[in-house]
Structure 1
């Protein structure tokens, strides 16, 4: 039986206090500090970083005294309908705890629920009622501003949030459909949100699949993100779609991979509630508007804790790439990307095409590397070379070196050259991170070239004054959450965790993602370069070991994965399940057509096409690889 909105008495189950102020990335208030305040009287918060929300807004100030609670909602008179047990569970069984219940709500066409499955009220069939609900709920932040999730097309229709961008069949490119739909959605929201704006709410940026709202009460600012589930694809295809498909959509999952929410509203709300509570419990934050923002929110929460306790490394400034003379095109440290033509030996006695890759490679490297921070020092000549010699090796920095021609070195013919910038027939002067400097100095058997520092002719460097394992706790939180997903067979949250660390690390390079002052410390392109280099060198070291011990050499490598031709029962994966160790990603029979295609390939492009076709059926498998950032 539907529960009409007018049964507002259900709200009396938990009478909240006046809304706690929350904030977004552009604000000067620390939302998490205020939310954790035990006293009913909020006090001025210190100035550690703020959580990762996608918004730009004016900077509010903090009041020493709480504002008058002028947001109390006068409940309308209840109609003559049969009352029900207040706050009863509506899920068939409560699937989760209540970790997210004070921080998020889920709205469907039939009712409003807490993430744990408690019904609060019936349909929210107007924007005015949405305003009342948001102000009554007094949700508090958890790493991000509080969230109200609108689930299902029916709920959108009740609010007047309906768009008709056209059919996929009318577009040659899904990006064109997405762009049109996003523009239509923004226009509809701008036209229908007037009641909330009249009631004192302000829009932070243009509304879209997430509507970022703020409301000033005296000197406090309340914030909430309204996430419109049926239209999330209007954003996500831009970042994660390919080949005219919609890809990963954050905590909602992927339609193509089978991890998206169920089609029916109530099961969808139940599963979304489970995922919200899972994030609150295992990540300590709500899922951000994007996985990258979720990763940033975890970093910021750790930063706040370390600032308050005075223990642990805290990085509060950006680390842009210094002005490099002769900077390489593209990535400072490119990911691996190489293919070779299989020879007769490679194709003899084999019956499988197998891809192995490092388990959560970027997450493993992020947790173990020492990153530099602070204003780097520019050195040239002998001073630059001398800076690389230290008690603990070269400090974290960037080094301009000369890579010798690959043909002058005693290197395996069936592996790529040790560094992507290296050429076979001529020396190359380029910039590398300390990770690559160490890798090049490693013995050939360990994947390096056995170089001395003098052999690399260091002529210039940028050296950071401080360094440490800044991301160790961040990686630990994500690693432990990932383990829970793996142990429980929770594919949806496992894929989301992968998107969080890959998305965050990938977007360290983009300053446009972190333009707000309180978010600037997330811009760390040199950290990202070091992580990529570390994964690349680790993979090469394993490939050298496999070649030495097994006599098997790869025919392709992409990022952290290596493709081999193997006999039946042959296993190249590591026994350890630790992050960074090699696991089987894809394993497919070497059919006669595939073997013929590999044997007759005229160039590496044809080899790549054959491999991609062979692995096509496993494209959406629950793999361990990093993929494209």
Structure 2
């Protein structure tokens, strides 16, 4: 006889004896006729750690009892909860904590703008495809229909008048925790117009932050790209403390755009792509709530005016879970490490990609053919996931070439001199030099990371220069005492989320994943005023940036060498890790793609694929952004 367990509203029952099999037949009919196959597979339960992340705080005393236990309960078994149990609890919390409408709108009705007839009913839920999460205790969206949390629950009526924002900010039961970002209140353009928000005239000397402070009765302590950190004084000091809240005016997210991502509006989408929020206010609020909830699922992150701030928070949490092995310096700590002037006057490494000077004889595309472009899928994620990165306090030491006989040489940046490429055996004159620091005709001196040196020592057919250690002149080496895969967990998280986004055909999630890892990796190179600030100082690592780009570039050269060897095809141009080829008309361009993974049937990140999608539908990796993306 088959075993049956029935789950309902988070509870589970085991089927009693069924000697005649009648109940089993009925259940089999229900499975065949009334159930979807999507639930096939083992039952999934949430761990305590997952629930704490979902709630954004510790488990409250009134949280439901666990549904399952794995292991021996008498020996400290691991508790688990069904998803429905968590969702039912969160839904009940939202309903119980929703304050009466007059808690915000307690002024005389004559002082208010007239309410709209189609306003959302208080405590209703306007969309149910966004799960309740800790984001609902930290973010509200103000619309002309009402005030909702990301899960779509209507917690307040429309704002009504500017002064009610102060009451909302101070009195709302926000969740708070040590090290948590300030709560956020997002206000749509339609809601601002209904409040008669004063739009500053072109050329007006008035500052937007002053207008916001005067209009909403708060002190603006920071502003960038529509984000205003507002300090609200409490109207009732006896019962309510002062409150600091990030107020986001959605129409002003276009102001002060990132120089490296001028069309990026954060969770509002990218201008010129299908991901920009729709014009319809209700639809825009729904999609905004969905994206905020998705982002909060990444270690409790909330949106910010720059992706580096958001990504830095996620990276810091993931790095905090690392347990590096200490081998050389018991007192080693992760500290910011701009490069000393002895290695670099700027404090970081030179541009890491090929230029027109990297070519000896660029291949010319004569005759008929088809022009194609190939590049790596999510190029930087596998590099960051696999590379060992230095930590501790680095020191200048006398270089030892024997280091590179080891399986894992020390993490370092060395000043080296290498012979000209035309004196190296096997390097094709139709490809750029293996490393951009090299020259075709003369010796070249440049700073190189451990990864760069390993590439120079690799065989030419493997993307290297085929040098021996004796052919590299080491002048000085700046060596870190320890090394660890510091960015591995951050990269794994975003690799997983990126794969899920592709499977779900969510271009917006894909773009957000790319923005997160590119901004974090790129800003590691920033130094001086543009460098990471507290609490992200540990990410000020130009050598990490160089190692990630070096591994990505090495993979690109390895690919170009393979295509030349297998198909006698040479690129006509390159742009970062992208190669441009003209192939014969009868040639199948898909032959240029790296093979799919044998197990999953999917393309691995870092493998080469045809750029088949139009620019509006895909965000290529491009070079990592070393420019400051935050302040």
TM class by shorter-chain length?
0.7 to 0.9
Cα deviation 1:164-207 (Å, max 9, x = unaligned): 43xxxxxxxxxxxxxx79974234224334x234xxxxx33346
Contact 1:251 1:493 (8 Å CA) reproduced? no
1:270 paired to 2:292:
no
What TM-score results when the alignment is normalised by the length of structure 1? 0.72
Secondary structure of the residue aligned to 2:445 is strand
1:476 paired to 2:492:
yes
Q: Describe the shift of the 1:430–1:358 C-alpha distance in structure 2 as closer, same or farther (beyond 3 A).
A: same
Match of 1:189 among 212, 226, 229: 212
1:45-64 aligned at under 5 Å gives the runs none
Cα deviation 1:219-269 (Å, max 9, x = unaligned): 99854211111110002264422xxxxx12121111212211001211110
1:122 paired to 2:149:
no
1:90 paired to 2:126:
yes
1:106-255 aligned at under 5 Å gives the runs 106-140=141-175, 144-155=181-192, 158=195, 160-165=197-202, 184-193=207-216, 195-197=217-219, 203-206=220-223, 209-214=226-231, 223-236=244-257, 238-241=259-262, 247-255=263-271
More displaced, 567-576 or 77-86? 77-86
Cα deviation 1:550-606 (Å, max 9, x = unaligned): 11111111111111112342320112211111111248xxxxxxxxxxxxxxxxxxx
Contact 2:120 2:154 (8 Å CA) reproduced? no
Secondary structure of the residue aligned to 1:347 is coil
Contact 2:227 2:304 (8 Å CA) reproduced? no
Secondary structure of the residue aligned to 2:589 is coil
Shift of 1:214: 4.7
Contact 1:547 1:553 (8 Å CA) reproduced? yes
Secondary structure of the residue aligned to 1:106 is strand
Contact 2:457 2:465 (8 Å CA) reproduced? yes
Contact 1:110 1:123 (8 Å CA) reproduced? yes
Q: Describe the shift of the 1:207–1:549 C-alpha distance in structure 2 as closer, same or farther (beyond 3 A).
A: closer
1:505 paired to 2:525:
no
Q: Which runs of 5+ in 2 are unaligned?
A: 1-51, 62-101, 597-602, 626-631
Distance in 2 of aligned mates of 1:124 and 1:74:
8
Q: Describe the shift of the 1:325–1:86 C-alpha distance in structure 2 as closer, same or farther (beyond 3 A).
A: closer
Distance in 2 of aligned mates of 1:334 and 1:181:
43
* Correspondence for 1:11: none
Distance in 2 of aligned mates of 1:316 and 1:153:
47
* Correspondence for 1:244: none
Distance in 1 of aligned mates of 2:605 and 2:363:
33
Shift of 1:85: 5.1
Secondary structure of the residue aligned to 2:536 is helix
Q: Describe the shift of the 1:265–1:163 C-alpha distance in structure 2 as closer, same or farther (beyond 3 A).
A: farther
Shift of 1:157: 5.4
Distance in 2 of aligned mates of 1:237 and 1:515:
15
Q: Describe the shift of the 1:227–1:488 C-alpha distance in structure 2 as closer, same or farther (beyond 3 A).
A: same
Distance in 1 of aligned mates of 2:105 and 2:191:
24
* Correspondence for 1:578: 604
* Correspondence for 2:90: none
More displaced, 284-293 or 519-528? 284-293
Match of 2:423 among 398, 404, 408: 408
Match of 2:539 among 494, 498, 522: 522
Secondary structure of the residue aligned to 1:530 is helix
Distance in 1 of aligned mates of 2:205 and 2:379:
34
1:394 paired to 2:394:
no
Shift of 1:291: 1.4
1:532 paired to 2:549:
yes
1:321 paired to 2:351:
no
Contact 2:311 2:520 (8 Å CA) reproduced? yes
Shift of 1:152: 1.9
Secondary structure of the residue aligned to 1:260 is coil
Q: Describe the shift of the 1:627–1:514 C-alpha distance in structure 2 as closer, same or farther (beyond 3 A).
A: closer
1:459-474 aligned at under 5 Å gives the runs 459-474=475-490
Give the number of the structure whose alpha-carbon radius of gyration is greater: 2
Q: Describe the shift of the 1:151–1:73 C-alpha distance in structure 2 as closer, same or farther (beyond 3 A).
A: same
Secondary structure of the residue aligned to 1:101 is helix
Q: Describe the shift of the 1:110–1:326 C-alpha distance in structure 2 as closer, same or farther (beyond 3 A).
A: closer
Distance in 1 of aligned mates of 2:431 and 2:443:
19
* Correspondence for 2:470: 454
Shift of 1:423: 1.4
Secondary structure of the residue aligned to 1:288 is coil
Distance in 1 of aligned mates of 2:337 and 2:471:
29
* Correspondence for 1:370: 388
Q: Describe the shift of the 1:442–1:301 C-alpha distance in structure 2 as closer, same or farther (beyond 3 A).
A: same
Q: Describe the shift of the 1:204–1:315 C-alpha distance in structure 2 as closer, same or farther (beyond 3 A).
A: farther
Distance in 1 of aligned mates of 2:521 and 2:223:
26
Distance in 1 of aligned mates of 2:265 and 2:104:
37
* Correspondence for 1:170: none
1:562 paired to 2:569:
no
Distance in 2 of aligned mates of 1:402 and 1:183:
56
Contact 2:374 2:608 (8 Å CA) reproduced? yes
Contact 1:510 1:523 (8 Å CA) reproduced? yes
Q: Describe the shift of the 1:375–1:183 C-alpha distance in structure 2 as closer, same or farther (beyond 3 A).
A: farther
Contact 1:359 1:582 (8 Å CA) reproduced? yes
Residue-pair matches, total: 502
Contact 2:348 2:543 (8 Å CA) reproduced? no
* Correspondence for 1:619: 615
Secondary structure of the residue aligned to 1:483 is helix
* RCO comparison, higher one (Cα < 8 Å, 6+): 1
Secondary structure of the residue aligned to 1:353 is strand
* Correspondence for 1:58: none
Distance in 1 of aligned mates of 2:258 and 2:346:
30
